[in-house]
Structure formats: structure tokens, C-alpha cells
Structure 1
């Protein structure tokens, strides 16, 4: 079962702030019977993620989405049945929907003594991409079409881009769209994570393995999407030069050898830039990073990116 909104006022992109998500946290924990006192913020960007002080529980508050959210709880339970390594849910009624935001409760895994590497993710992603059983929850199944739509929406709905930057990004989107029908996908379609990178995985010390997390962008689509996403993160965010080499060797397929790699790489990076532009407040450090990436895009400069 899913409890419906406990508060009538829905949050928006602009009101998804630590103060407001703290209120959601307290309401959700009150419903679930957990103690929210002294909870600490672990992350507050795409989602608001809190660690409870009284219990080893992580509370994740998703951003408001008027187009709906996927059934992450149902998906994760199914993935566990398919033996896909994933972080575990807490045994409580969830998700809760409060102020337009989905709230879920997860097992806390301490990450102090082990950093997840790309090679650690090869087995989890290979198992995910090998799933052939019907997925019992509704997932988006037009990943590339949706990506182009999301890029356009993000370009037009933000507070940090100049008119010139908007025009340049739209032009780049159109250039990529012109070649979309020529891409030849080579891996079987199936469930994909949608946002595959190191920070969306955790090290499960008791089981000595990496587990996947943050399933909000899961979809049915080409596994190449996940592989290209991880490659972008390895290359852009300062990981060792051989980081992706080791992943590709373990996974058994190197996305960089695929004919559509450069196109998908450029599309994935454009999606990352524009999505972060939409989420960034004018004058913030995240806005400065997005604008720095855009200037490098104009100059075709292969710069490193800072984590947002």
C-alpha cells in the first residue's frame, strides 16, 4: 500500500529546499514510527537524503514530479528476486507521498572504509542487463526520445542560462537529434539503471560486494545508455585513467568500441549539463559549475568536471 499526501501543499523545483525537506522528513518518520531527531543531511541535490541518528536508516526524499514517479519500491523488490545486487529497503509501509515528494526508507551502509570503483560495478550491471523476465512495474521505455524532450525542457526552464547559451544548447540538441535514427544499438533492450555511476552504488561490507542504488531513473532501454553514463563519469570526474578499462574488461563490452559511442557520449553529457542547469539556483556554486561546463562545450575543451 502507498500512503497518499500527508500535506496538501506540494513542493516545486524552487521550494525543494533543506528547510522544506526537513519538514517532510519529520512527517514521514512520524508516520513510519522512526525518530527523525538529529538526522543529518547526506546529500541534497537531485534528492534529499538523510541519515537517521537513532537507527541505521537512510531516508530519501525525491524531487516533486508532476509527471509521476516510478514504483521504486516494487522495482527493487523485483530486482532482489532476480539476484541483481541492490541496496535493501527497510521493512515498513512505503513509499510515502508527502508534499508531492516520494519518501523511501533504506538500509544504511557505512562507506567510510571502502570506495566503490567502476570495476566493482561490472557484475551488478551485467546482472541487471541480463534480466529477461517481465518487469512487474511500469517503467519508461522511450529512453532516447525522452532524453531529447528532457533536454529541451531543461534548456527552457531554468534561471541561469543566457539567451545565447539557450540557443547554442538547442542547436547542439538538434544536431544530435538529426543522427538519432542512424544509431545501431547492439545490446538487447531490457531494464537499465538510467543514471549509472559510482555515487549511485554502495559497498555492502557484510557481503563484500557493490550494490546499486538510486533507482529513480530506471527504464526499459538500451544497456549502452548505462555503459556510456559510467564512461562519462570515469572520464569527467577525475577517476584513474584505467578506471573504465577495468570495468569494460570485467563487464565484457567496451562502449568506446561501439560505432554509436561518440554520439551517445555527447547526448549523455548534454543531458547532464542541461539537467543540472534546471536544478541550479542563480548565483550558486552549482550554477557556476554548469556555466563552466557550457563554456568548455563551446570551445570543445575536454575539461574535468566537479561533482554536483
Structure 2
């Protein structure tokens, strides 16, 4: 997409969020975009409401697919908030339901004044992930198994990249496909995972690098962005964070009575995470900044063991 096309997409998402907010009875007279990458995030000022409007999506993510995932996110984040856990909660001013407007499916969240000066401390925040895991263990709702691995996204993304050697070299695509043939059965079903990792406990996990999605609010840290919450091994939430973060998690987990991270599972979820990063290049036509943003990940992936050590 050209810059003008992306700007027009942002404008359409902003207009849809404003119209939806107005229909819900909110004062949206000073609405403004506060973030615009994979989603357009709109503060419906002066109302204390933030709207998240996903805009960069795989081809199969129709309105029904998006709404189903958003209902799950609202349910999990809303339940955590109701239990008193420190999360950015759904807005109490509107129903806890995604809203479809002008082709966009959006969710409404409570506005929180974040401390933008706070430097992220991923090691410390990795320890806080253990606290989140304790809270999520009691979540009463049903969750799909490792939906955060997004097998369809990886499979279709790699297929799309066949026609785009400018985005991924043929040799890299060949490795990615061979690797995914090994990894996909492990994450596509609970039975497939348990066949490789018997005895590894599963529980609700955040699903999307929670240590990088902890923000500083006026009263302390808050967990955010539960779009990919899923049933899976706790290792999924530590993928790609490195040994220091893993050690911080293990220390906190021991204190809280949780199991320590399994290194074999970590190697595999790290490999799956890299497969997702490579497949994400297929979204570059919608979001050109991904080409440069993903270069370090692709270079790191080339140096990693094939399929996390599975399959020889």
C-alpha cells in the first residue's frame, strides 16, 4: 500500500470508531488516533474510552472471525478486571461486545493515562507474567488450544510468499516450509502437542508476549492486549524473550508454586514464534514497515536450530 492508501485506511477506521461511539451515546467531539500499526487505536476524547480497530489482517479474517476473537478477548480481560487483577479493562460505559461498523470490527476499552516516561524492564516484567499465570489458572471460560500459534496464518502466509521472492528469498522459504511441516502438527491440536510433550501441563495463557504488553498506569503496572489468549503451555508466553527473562520467570514461578519452564518446550515455541514472524512478511503489502522491522528476526531465525530441535 502507498502512504496515501494507508492514511485513507486510518481515516476510515477513525470515522467508523467515532460513528460507533456516537451511536453508543458517547461524547466523541475530540476523538484522535493514538496508535496506528496493526490496529488503529482511537481515544474517543473527552470520553474515557479507547477503541481498538484492527486493520492489518490476513485474507481469511472476515467480520465473523474477528468478532469471535474479540468476544473472547473481552471475556478474559473483563473477567480479570472483575476479579480485581491489574488489567486495562473493557469500557464500563458500553456493552462488552465487539461493534461492527463500516466493515470494521472494534472493541471499546477504558482509557488509562499511561506513564510514557517509564522505560520497559522486560526482565522484571517477565517475573510478573508468573503472577498473571496464577490469575489465569482460575479463568472459567473455554479457550481453544494454542490458537495464538495461528497455524492457518503461517500456512497461508508461507504460500503467499512463494510469489514474493522480494520479501523472502527462495532458500529461506524452502527452509520455512520444511520447518513448518515439522512444527505445525505439534501446535495444531492438543493431541499433537501431548504426543511430543507428554505430561506438560496446560492452562490459560496470555498468548502475545505479555512481558512486552505490561504498561505503567497511574497506580502501577497493568496487563494489556489479550487478543491471543489461549490454552497452552506457560512457555508460550516466554517465547523469544531470552535466558534472563526465563530466569526471572522461573524465580517468580518457584515463589508462587508454579512449575519451572521446560527447555525442550521453550525451544519449540521459540521456533513456532519464528515461523509466525517469517509468515508475517506476507502482510507487508498492507504494512510496508514490516519489511525492515522483521529483518532482525529473519536473520536470527537463520541461525537457530531447525524446528527447535525436532525432526533432526
Q: CA deviation at 1:214?
A: 0.8
- Give the corresponding residue for 2:276: 271
Q: How does 1:5-154 map to 2 (within 5 A)?
A: 17-63=9-55, 65-66=61-62, 67-68=65-66, 69-70=68-69, 71=71, 72-94=73-95, 95-98=98-101, 99-118=103-122, 119-120=124-125, 122-123=127-128, 125-133=130-138, 135-136=140-141, 138-143=142-147, 147-154=150-157
- State the TM-score, normalized to the length of structure 2: 0.72
Q: CA deviation at 1:170?
A: 0.9
User: Do structure 1's residue 171 and structure 2's residue 175 form an aligned pair?
Assistant: no
- Give the corresponding residue for 1:6: none
Could you tell me how far apart the structure 1 residues matched to 2:34 and 2:246 are?
Answer: 27
Deviates more, 1:20-29 or 1:57-66: 57-66
- Give the corresponding residue for 1:219: 230
Residues 157, 30 of structure 1: alpha-carbon distance in 2 compared, 3 angstrom cutoff: farther
Could you tell me how far apart the structure 2 residues matched to 1:242 and 1:77 are?
Answer: 31
- State the TM-score, normalized to the length of structure 1: 0.73
Q: Is the 8 A contact 1:48 1:62 kept in 2?
A: yes
3-state SS, counterpart of residue 14 of structure 2: helix
Could you tell me how far apart the structure 1 residues matched to 2:199 and 2:113 are?
Answer: 36
Q: CA deviation at 1:17?
A: 2.8
Q: CA deviation at 1:244?
A: 4.6
Alignment deviations for residues 97-146 of structure 1 (CA, whole Å, 9 cap, x no partner): 2214123232223222434433245345434345444523x5322448x5
3-state SS, counterpart of residue 21 of structure 1: helix
Among 253, 260, 269, the alignment partner of 1:251 is 253
Which one has a larger percent helix, Structure 1 or Structure 2? 2
Q: CA deviation at 1:152?
A: 0.8
Q: CA deviation at 1:62?
A: 2.8
3-state SS, counterpart of residue 203 of structure 1: strand
Could you tell me how far apart the structure 1 residues matched to 2:268 and 2:184 are?
Answer: 10
Could you tell me how far apart the structure 2 residues matched to 1:223 and 1:16 are?
Answer: 40
Residues 284, 85 of structure 1: alpha-carbon distance in 2 compared, 3 angstrom cutoff: same
User: Do structure 1's residue 287 and structure 2's residue 298 form an aligned pair?
Assistant: no
The number of equivalent residue pairs is: 272
Residues 19, 250 of structure 1: alpha-carbon distance in 2 compared, 3 angstrom cutoff: same
Could you tell me how far apart the structure 2 residues matched to 1:39 and 1:103 are?
Answer: 15
Q: CA deviation at 1:225?
A: 1.1
User: CA RMSD, aligned part only?
Assistant: 3.3
Residues 297, 251 of structure 1: alpha-carbon distance in 2 compared, 3 angstrom cutoff: same
Residues 250, 142 of structure 1: alpha-carbon distance in 2 compared, 3 angstrom cutoff: closer
Q: Which structure 1 residue ranges, 5 or more long, are not aligned?
A: 1-13, 236-240, 302-308
Could you tell me how far apart the structure 1 residues matched to 2:236 and 2:106 are?
Answer: 25
